[in-house]
Amino acid sequence: MTYAYDDQNIFAKILRAEIPNDTVLETEHSLAFNDIQPQAPVHVLVIPKGPYVCYDHFAQTASDAEIADYTRAIGEVCKLKGLDQDGFRLISNAGDHGVQEVPHLHVHILAGRPLGRMLQKA
């Protein structure tokens, strides 16, 4: 599978500072910011700065430095938000079946209340 990256997606515009974001953390290769429509008291999106559509695209083609930076950025957000006490959920939607709205890789970090079971029946 080859992925075509659309550089007009909303997160690409955030990375180019064409639209604002509420930044939680910025690193060399990653950006974390609050979701505009939070689904939980903590709802942070973490994105790589590179043009990756979804998680498998990133995992298959990003450099080791990008992957290490991204993984560490997720860990740092969890630390900044104190999520080691009550836990959290990490979600990365991909494609149609994953119901991915924005075609730039992002993980959702959700926390701050009991989040219920992982999946609902469709």
Q: What residues line the site for ligand 5GP (CB under 6 A)?
A: 10, 21, 33, 35-37, 45, 93, 99-102
In the chain, where do the E strands start and end? 23-26, 30-34, 42-48, 89-91, 107-111
Least distance CB 10 / ligand 5GP (angstroms): 5
Whether the CB-CB separation of 91 and 110 falls below 8 Å is answered with: yes
Whether the CB-CB separation of 70 and 76 falls below 8 Å is answered with: no
**Residue with Cβ nearer ligand 5GP (36 or 65):** 36
Least distance CB 121 / ligand 5GP (angstroms): 19
Specify the length of the chain in residues: 122
- Catalytic site residue 108? no
**Residue with Cβ nearer ligand 5GP (14 or 85):** 14
CA angle, 33 as apex, 86 and 55 as ends, to 5°?
85
**Residue with Cβ nearer ligand 5GP (65 or 90):** 90
How many Cβ atoms are within 10 Å of 77's Cβ, its own excluded? 23
**Residue with Cβ nearer ligand 5GP (47 or 83):** 47
- β-strands 107-111, 30-34: how paired? unpaired
Selected catalytic residue, list 29, 57, 106, 108 = 106
Active site residues: 106
